Structure 1
Amino acid sequence: MGKLALVAKITHVPSIVLSEFDGPRKGSRQDAIDGLKAIGQRCRDLGVDTLVVFDTHWLVNASYHLNCTRHWEGRYTSNELPHFISNMPYAIPGNPELGHLLARVANRMGVDTLAHEGTTLAPEYGTLVPMRYMNPDQHFKAVSVSALCMAHYLNDSARLGWAFRRAIEDEYDGTVALLASGSLSHRFAQNGLAPEYAFKLWSPFLETLDREVVRLWQAGEWQAFCEMLPEYAVKGHGEGFMHDTAMMLGALGWSEYRGQAEVITPYFGASGTGQINVVFPVTPVTGSAIPAAQASSAQGFQAVSRL
Structure 2
Amino acid sequence: MDMDGQIVGAAVVSHHPGLMQCEEFRVLQGAGSDSDLIQGYARLRERITAARPDVVAIFDSHWFTTGYHLADAGTRYQGSYISDEMPWYLHGVPYDYRGCPELAQLIETVSRERGGYNRAIGHPELGRQYATVNLVKQLRLEAAGLPVLSLSSCQNCEWPHFLSSGEAIGEAIRRSGLRVVLLASGALSHRFNGIDWQPRHPRIFHESNVSRPEHIESDKGAIALMREGRHDRILDRWQDEYRTLPWEAFGAHYLQMLGAMGGRACRAPGEPLCDYENARGTGNIHIWFDTQADSGAGA
TM value normalised by structure 2:
0.88
Q: Is the 8 A contact 2:74 2:123 kept in 1?
A: yes
Find the counterpart in structure 2 of residue 16 from structure 1.
19
Residue identity matched to 1:167 = A
Q: For the structure 1 residues 131 and 29, does the alpha-carbon distance in structure 2 shift closer, same or farther, using more than 3 Å as the test?
A: farther
Matched, 1:113 2:118: yes
Which structure 2 segments of 5+ residues have no match?
none
Map 1:1-307 to 2 at 5 A. Answer: 1-20=4-23, 22=25, 24-25=28-29, 29-134=34-139, 135-147=141-153, 149-169=154-174, 171-193=175-197, 198-199=204-205, 200-282=209-291, 283-285=294-296
Partner SS for 1:265: coil
Shift in CA distance, 262/202, structure 1 to aligned 2, threshold 3 Å:
same
Amino acid in structure 1 at the alignment position of 2:20: V
Give the superposition deviation at 1:192: 2.3
Shift of 1:185: 0.5
Provide the identity percentage.
26
**C-alpha distance in structure 2 between counterparts of 1:230 and 1:248, whole Å:** 18
RMSD of Structure 2 on Structure 1 (CA): 2.2
Whole-Å Cα distance in 1 between the matches of residues 211 and 22 of structure 2? 21
**1:80–1:225 distance in 2 versus 1, CA, 3 Å:** same
The offset of 1:195, in angstroms, is 6.3
User: Secondary structure, in 3 states, of the residue corresponding to 2:243?
Assistant: helix
Q: Is the 8 A contact 2:265 2:297 kept in 1?
A: no
State whether residues 68 and 142 of structure 1, in contact with CA within 8 Å, keep that contact through their aligned partners in structure 2.
no
Structure 1 position 196, deviation (Å): 6.5
Letter in 1 for 2:254: T
Contact in 2 for aligned 1:19/1:30 (Cα 8 Å): no
2: CA distance, partners of 1:180 / 1:262: 14
Q: Do the aligned partners of 2:263 and 2:297 also contact (CA within 8 Å) in 1?
A: no
Residue identity opposite 1:272 in structure 2: G
Q: 1:107 Cα shift?
A: 2.1
Task: Say if 1:111 and 1:160, in contact at 8 Å, map to a contact too.
Answer: yes
Instruction: Indicate the SS of the match to 1:79.
Output: coil
Deviation at 1:209, TM superposition (A): 1.0
Indicate if the aligned counterparts of 2:53 and 2:180 stay in contact, CA closer than 8 A. yes
Give the letter aligned to residue 89 of structure 1: P
CA deviations 1:225-256 (Å, max 9, x no partner) are 11112333432221001111111111222222
Q: For 1:271 and 1:117, locate their aligned partners in 2 and report how far apart those are by CA, in whole Å.
A: 34
Shift of residue 25 of structure 1? 3.7
2:226 touches 2:269 (CA, 8 Å); kept in 1?
Answer: yes
Shift of the 221–74 alpha-carbon distance from structure 1 to 2, 3 Å rule, reads: same
SS at 1:85's partner residue?
A: coil
In structure 1, how many angstroms separate the alpha carbons of the residues matched to 2:133 and 2:125?
15
Cα shift at 1:259: 2.4
Structure 1 gap segments, 5+ residues each:
291-307
State the alpha-carbon separation in 2 of the partners of residues 231 and 157 from structure 1.
17
Q: Deviations over 1:49-105 (max 9, x none)?
A: 211110000111111111121111111121112234122111111111111112211
> CA 1:37–1:122 in 2, change beyond 3 Å: closer, same or farther?
farther
| Cα distance in 1, alignment partners of residues 23 and 105 from structure 2 | 36
